[in-house]
Chains A and B, each alone.
Chain A
Amino acid sequence: MKWIRILGLYFEKVFEYKAKSLLWIFIPMANNLTLLLFWKGATEQMNYISTYYILMTVGGLFLTSYIEDDVAEVDIKQGELVNYLTKPISYYWMKLFIEIPYRVMQAIYAALIIGIFIVFFRFNLSLVLRPLYIPLIFIIFTLGYLISFTFKMSIAYLSFWFKDMHGFYELTTIIAIIFSGSVMPLEWYPPIMRSMAHILPFAYSSYYPIMTLIKPFEFIDFLTIICIQSVWLCILLVFHNFLWKQGIKEFTAVGQ
């Protein structure tokens, strides 16, 4: 019940600041839609490309967490973490339920805007959506988001030790963009980069969830993706818990 209350409360907050939520989606959208227009003129695989970029743009807004700045700058550096530490509630879960409304609202906004874009530029989408696999796709999307969220929470905890991590967060965002397939489909990468993408967690956060809607995967493919995602999530959770336990000892609760 408390998680529903938190979700509800933050949905209310999103509605209070609807312009902010809407503005923030223009940054990733501007990149992807420009790329889409470029590929429209340059390739014959237009259906695949347009579907890929459109889903990556909308899906990416839901699947990619941007919690790191909030945790590092506001909670840790300005001391807002105090509000969570004195309550009988898990900080990780609280932040998760705080961020979900933003992700959902941004994905909805993006879907609406891209819908207009599709109609205006006459793009065709070719989706492979089999009702039987919808629960598995839902699991893959959830795990994808949790991977991104746990990774961003973990790197945000570095602010317990380092004062200014903004550059580092930018760098990890760029790496995540490259290896999650946001620039282009991973199969188009040079072999070495493709291999790297497969051994890093980022592709399991965005690329594979999006691919479940585009490629005709079989049941075993879905299971494989879920297994690898679960392994990554476990690794990241161990990493997250370690950083939290060590980092919280460094917290000075300033800003009071």
Chain B
Amino acid sequence: MSTISVSHLSKYFRIYKKEAGFVGSIRSFIRRTYETSKAVEDISFSIEQGELVGFIGPNGAGKTTTLKCLSGLIYPTSGKISVLGHTPFDRKHEYLRSISLVMGQKSQLWWDLPPMESYLLYKEIYDIPDAHFKKTLDELVELLDLKEVLAVQVRKLSLGQRMKCELVAQLLHKPKILFLDEPTIGLDIVMQQKIRSFVREYNKKYNATVILTSHYMDDVKELCKRVIIINHGTILYDGNLNTIVSKHTQLKRISIVFETAIEKEKLEKKGKIVAMEGQSVTLEVAKEHVAEVVGYILSHYSVIDLTVVEPQIEEIISTIFSSQKV
């Protein structure tokens, strides 16, 4: 049985629509117009223990709504969800002790008090024995380099420090399932990297199941083998990230810097020239011909530099979003 199993999940919201201006206000006073927004529409998937899955989608795609349903925050309109054998919305304490939800845009620490106070409260809420608490806290504080900030008011911490403190708070009880909603949002590159390594480490060490949503493709590329691409509330793709990337990589680009000027016509026979500036040329070639073209160039010309460039994952994902098909 899968750790997380979602079957035909849908979540609709009723949204009040009002025309702009005074007349619109009068109309809505007499008769309100509502629209049904389908945040998630009939999605199904399952996730095994220890998997690290990335949820990708543009704003309003339904990623966060799905996470909210999985963590028991909102009641699904229809469909079935089972997480560790529990129905999340029942919010049984046994279930809540097994999960954690980290939201990059929402702090769950007590704003006016140092993080240590929140940790001590969580220790009581999750009934963590003293020895376990101390061991886990020391370990997490060491890993995330937080010793200096434990006694500082949360409001006075930087965004990166706060996010790290947030992670500690959510991991003190060693959850089996970790829902990460935009955990690196607003952080600088160094801090993003630290958070990623930490998540990877946690996933390996505790065989925890991690579901990650992020707008930063680097988060997904570095952490997740499996991705679920969602848009307009429906799943467009569920599978290996490399598979989808290679499926969409029919063409590759070869960037070459020649020692001397070359004839454009000769090169055009080998591929499409997409850029040419002096001795620097970029050729676009079908991926099955890359080896052959590279061999030809190296044997017929004096080359200073040659690189084969993979298309950016961002471009591929963006193409999938706009075409709505994989």
Q: Which residues of A contact B (CB under 8 A)?
A: 1-2, 5-6, 9, 12-13, 16-17, 79, 82-83, 85-89, 248-253, 255-256
The answer, among A13, A17, A86, A255, for a CB contact under 8 Å with B99, is: A86
A sample of 18 inter-chain contacts (CB < 8 A) reads A2-B127, A5-B121, A9-B121, A12-B117, A16-B113, A17-B112, A82-B73, A82-B101, A82-B103, A82-B106, A82-B108, A83-B106, A85-B73, A87-B96, A251-B73, A252-B74, A256-B103, A256-B181
Cα separation A7 to B172 with both chains bound (whole Å): 21
Question: Separation in Å of the B104 CB from the closest CB of chain A?
Answer: 9
Cα separation A87 to B122 with both chains bound (whole Å): 9
Q: Which residue of A lies closest to B75 (CB)?
A: A249
* Set of chain B residues within 8 Å of A252, measured between Cβ atoms: 13, 74
Q: Compute the total of residue contacts between A and B using a CB distance below 8 Å.
A: 70
Contact yes or no, B126 A88, CB < 8 A = yes
The answer, among B72, B103, B106, B117, for a CB contact under 8 Å with A9, is: B117
Contact yes or no, A88 B124, CB < 8 A = no
Q: Which residue of A lies closest to B16 (CB)?
A: A163
The answer, among A6, A17, A86, A249, for a CB contact under 8 Å with B121, is: A6
Q: How many residues of B contact A (CB 8 A)?
A: 32
Encode contact with A along B106-118: 1 for CB under 8 Å, 0 otherwise: 1010101100010
The answer, among B13, B72, B121, for a CB contact under 8 Å with A2, is: B121
Question: Separation in Å of the B37 CB from the closest CB of chain A?
Answer: 11
Question: Separation in Å of the B63 CB from the closest CB of chain A?
Answer: 12
* Set of chain A residues within 8 Å of B13, measured between Cβ atoms: 252
Contact yes or no, B120 A88, CB < 8 A = no
Question: Separation in Å of the A82 CB from the closest CB of chain B?
Answer: 6
Contact yes or no, B121 A12, CB < 8 A = no
* Set of chain B residues within 8 Å of A250, measured between Cβ atoms: 75
The answer, among B93, B106, B113, for a CB contact under 8 Å with A13, is: B113
Q: B100 contacts the other chain (Cβ, under 8 Å)?
A: yes
* Set of chain A residues within 8 Å of B93, measured between Cβ atoms: 88-89
Contact yes or no, B106 A86, CB < 8 A = no
* Set of chain B residues within 8 Å of A1, measured between Cβ atoms: 124
Contact yes or no, A13 B75, CB < 8 A = no
* Set of chain A residues within 8 Å of B125, measured between Cβ atoms: 2, 87-89
Cα separation A87 to B96 with both chains bound (whole Å): 6
Taking A5-B121, A89-B125, A255-B106 as given, write out 6 further A-B residue pairs in contact, using a Cβ cutoff of 8 Å, ordered by the A residue number. A13-B110, A16-B112, A79-B106, A85-B72, A86-B72, A256-B181
* Set of chain B residues within 8 Å of A86, measured between Cβ atoms: 71-73, 96, 99-101, 108
* For the complex of A and B, 3 pairs with smallest distance between CB atoms: A2-B124, A88-B93, A88-B96
Q: Which residue of B lies closest to A10 (CB)?
A: B110
Cα separation A18 to B91 with both chains bound (whole Å): 35
Contact yes or no, B113 A88, CB < 8 A = no
Cα separation A223 to B100 with both chains bound (whole Å): 46
Question: Separation in Å of the A244 CB from the closest CB of chain B?
Answer: 11
Contact yes or no, B91 A85, CB < 8 A = yes
Q: B196 contacts the other chain (Cβ, under 8 Å)?
A: no
Contact yes or no, B68 A253, CB < 8 A = yes
Contact yes or no, A9 B97, CB < 8 A = no
* Set of chain A residues within 8 Å of B117, measured between Cβ atoms: 9, 12
Cα separation A6 to B122 with both chains bound (whole Å): 10
* Set of chain A residues within 8 Å of B126, measured between Cβ atoms: 87-88
The answer, among B75, B96, B106, B121, for a CB contact under 8 Å with A256, is: B106
* Set of chain A residues within 8 Å of B94, measured between Cβ atoms: 88
Question: Separation in Å of the A246 CB from the closest CB of chain B?
Answer: 10
Contact yes or no, B112 A253, CB < 8 A = no
The answer, among A9, A89, A251, A255, for a CB contact under 8 Å with B74, is: A251
Scoring A1, A6, A82 by chain B CB atoms within 10 A of each residue's CB, the highest score goes to: A82
Q: B105 contacts the other chain (Cβ, under 8 Å)?
A: yes
The answer, among A16, A249, A256, for a CB contact under 8 Å with B64, is: A256
* Set of chain B residues within 8 Å of A251, measured between Cβ atoms: 73-75
Q: Which residue of A lies closest to B93 (CB)?
A: A88
Q: Which residue of B lies closest to A12 (CB)?
A: B113
